[in-house]
Amino acid sequence: MPILKIITRPNPILRKKSVEINLAEIKSRGFKKLVSDMAKTMLKTDGVGLAAPQIGKSIRLAVINSKDGVFCLINPKFIKKSWARELGQEGCLSIPGVFGQVKRHKKISLTYYNQAGKKIKLAADGMMARVIQHEIDHLDGILFIDKAVEVEKKEIYG
Ligand code: CO
């Protein structure tokens, strides 16, 4: 099972703004393999989301592990973010062992392209809204520790 190497802080790739994906590329074999390898990597590492910069590619792509299965966000754009925000704990595969409380918009709506190149409109709240905001931040070079109000480092044993 191919597992991609996850880049960790302070690798400067994590701080770059990612570029939009040319929609003509989505149907290529290489792109499909990239999405599938990212999904496998996310599942193997128990992640709830993985953004392309975390595997060294500065492109606007992320995979998300939702209760309905894995889906990918291509060129996501927020349409709306609720005024209401809430604190919740976050961690990141690129910052192992570190957790923090981050304030996120409670509800969001966005558009993105799926793997078939179809434009999708999605509304999300709760955990899914949090994960999507975390992953889109990655595409803009932002890490959760930039926004966290309390950051703690936990030793990972085993
Ligand atoms: Co992350």
Distance from C-alpha of 143 to C-alpha of 15, rounded to nearest angstrom: 8
**Structure-token pair, residue 17:** 């703004």
Please pick, among 20, 25, 86, 135, the residue that the annotation labels catalytic: 135
Q: From ligand 1's centre to the CA of 89, what distance in Å?
A: 12
Q: From ligand 1's centre to the CA of 20, what distance in Å?
A: 19
Q: From ligand 1's centre to the CA of 95, what distance in Å?
A: 8
**Structure-token pair, residue 4:** 């991609």
> Between the CA atoms of 25, 135, 55 and 72, what dihedral angle is there, to the nearest 10 degrees?
-40
Would you call 135 a catalytic residue per the annotation? yes
pLDDT of residue 1: 53
pLDDT of residue 154: 76
Burial class (CB in 10 A: 0-12, 13-18, 19+), 71: middle
CATH superfamily of 12-153: Peptide deformylase (3.90.45.10)
**What percent of the chain has a predicted confidence (pLDDT) above 70?**
96
Q: Are strands 61-66 and 85-90 parallel, antiparallel or unpaired?
A: unpaired
Q: What tens digit of pLDDT does each residue of 41-66 get?
A: 999 998 999 999 999 999 999 999 99
Would you kindly state where each structural domain of the chain is located, as residue ranges?
A: 12-153
Q: What tens digit of pLDDT does each residue of 75-98 get?
A: 999 999 999 999 999 999 999 999
pLDDT of residue 158: 47
Only one residue has tokens 């570190």, namely: 98
Question: What are the phi and psi torsion angles at 26 (to 5°)?
Answer: -60, -35
pLDDT confidence of 153, banded at 50, 70, 90?
confident
Phi/psi region, residue 60 (left: phi>0; alpha: psi -120 to 50; beta: rest), is beta
Q: Is the pLDDT of residue 99 over 80?
A: yes
